Structure 1
């Protein structure tokens, strides 16, 4: 029998954390390439992002159990609320705790970065509250937006544009337009992780009334969509290099191409949903590796 600690760690879904750190890493590398890196800001960015990701995972565990998406037909790992390892009440409490931790960490981050600049402070506070609400309401609440097929848009925004550009701004206090391209890359790759997850769960989601993109467009079109996300993310990064070329070191991130191709081929050819599951972790790690290699290329150029 698993210990309570192991059960909670399973509920945290630690394999998703590399994905959460990718956007923060990208924003931080872009700042470092311009000599604007700050260790305290990075630490609080990373901590806040980790809290938000765990919050999202816990709320997802709770919400999918309540709304029926976690059921006996689901092919992924068994969730803790669904299996009775964690009660609804305990999971609700954990959601409140991690909401508070995310808010406290975020407040510290904003203060360290912008100080008492009230206008900027309030803007980022609002952004932080929106992030908490988005994390919770993806599958929880009366009208979870994940059940309407809007999760992809949310991931693109928060794991791409907000994560990269928001963290970069906290270092540099500017928003260069060209940096939206690597931000989109992170967002598109992160959306690919969600799409893979939804392809894996397509049958159980149908039965639960969860109208994810793969449920709406069918598996065949969802595979095409997956390739579009992978190639779109890569194209945005390449376009950035073309527009801001300094040296060929900027192309180091192309080392992740075989991993992206491997992921796309698995989604295309693997019909067994259970065998698709490992590629969620693979795509999350590939996204983090992409952010690191892209950032290193910027640093040494």
Structure 2
């Protein structure tokens, strides 16, 4: 039973979960910066009508801020888990995940120490023998949790147009590897995560909390999208041989390993440049210094990917995603003091 639960937990693909939580945190920080600015008004008597209206709006937005943040986080996490289970189901019935339990030559020194083989890649549920219908049901339950939390967030925030974003996110999650023509099998997975784990997640969160989006939110969304792309690109570089063998033409398969690493480096460079612009505006000096102090992580990620040390590369990609979100939160909090 314990092994079964461990397999289900592994099926959530924990290393991908930072890509769902980080955009919510970053979007919430952008929303807070906008809400805080509503209270900035020149002292006049009598107080201008616009200042009175802004203060009233600020009070209303602050009053519902944390409940909506929690609901947005639940949506993001549950939707990510639903997508992961759905991908497990789709890849499993196609046979794409076959061979994941073959030991990797890089793990042989560890095998001798542990006395047991280590899997080459994270185990998948269907490929490990779990009935496909159970995995699909788990994906449906997680998607249901995301829908309930999303509807609650929309009702509280009155951001009704986010219903369309939620529906689009569900459809995109399923057709990543599901359906007759999954876009994840055609090399558009990175574009999908950029749109939904970057733009939609950050800007949707900011709009739900602040009732608007701004340039800072857009730039932060771009960085979160690039971080999500990096995480998926490292994952697809790890699986490039198996994906090619099973006809899964990810971007890594289409470009080849060398060109894919070049694109990965371009994403790292673009993310760093946009990050400098954002942090310089939010917390000049110390914020930029903190950002520069974290450059070693994406550099190590690229080096690990080049050496086929994908376990470490994925950990660094996940850390980079969280680091950026934490940095934005810190810059908004401290930079606004």
* Both proteins in one fold, TM over 0.5: yes
**Higher alpha-carbon deviation: 161-170 or 33-42:** 33-42
Matched, 1:41 2:85: no
User: 8 Å contact 1:256–1:290 — kept in the other structure?
Assistant: no
Partner of 2:146: 102
2:182 to 123, 144, 149: 144
Query: Matched residue pairs, number?
Result: 289
Q: Distance in 2 between matches of 1:49 and 1:96?
A: 15
Whether the 8 Å contact between 1:178 and 1:240 is mirrored in structure 2 is: yes
Q: Which residue of 1 aligns with 2:14?
A: 14
Q: Which residue of 2 aligns with 1:59?
A: 86
Query: Counterpart in 2 of 1:79?
Result: 124
Q: Does 1:89 align with 2:126?
A: no
Q: Deviations over 1:89-117 (max 9, x none)?
A: 11111122122111111100111111xxx
In structure 2, relative to structure 1, the CA distance for the partners of 1:255 and 1:246 (3 Å cut) is: closer
Deviation at 1:68, TM superposition (A): 2.4
CA distance in 1, matches of 2:2, 2:332: 45
- Gaps in structure 1 of 5+ consecutive residues: 115-119
**Pairwise CA distance, 1:298:** 2.4
Q: TM-score, normalised by structure 1?
A: 0.91
C-alpha displacement at 1:64, in angstroms? 1.1
Structure 1 or 2, whichever has the larger Rg, is 2
Gap regions ≥5 residues in structure 2: 37-60, 103-119
Give the alignment's Cα RMSD to 1 decimal: 1.7
CA displacement, residues 115-141 of structure 1 (integer Å, 9 cap, x when unaligned): xxxxx41x2111101111111221122
Q: 1:117 — aligned with what? A: none
Partner of 2:298: 260
Measure, in 1, the Cα distance between the counterparts of 2:99 and 2:80: 25
C-alpha distance in structure 2 between counterparts of 1:201 and 1:292, whole Å: 29
CA contact (8 A) 1:263 1:283 kept: yes
Cα distance, 1:181 vs. partner? 1.2
Matched, 1:299 2:333: yes
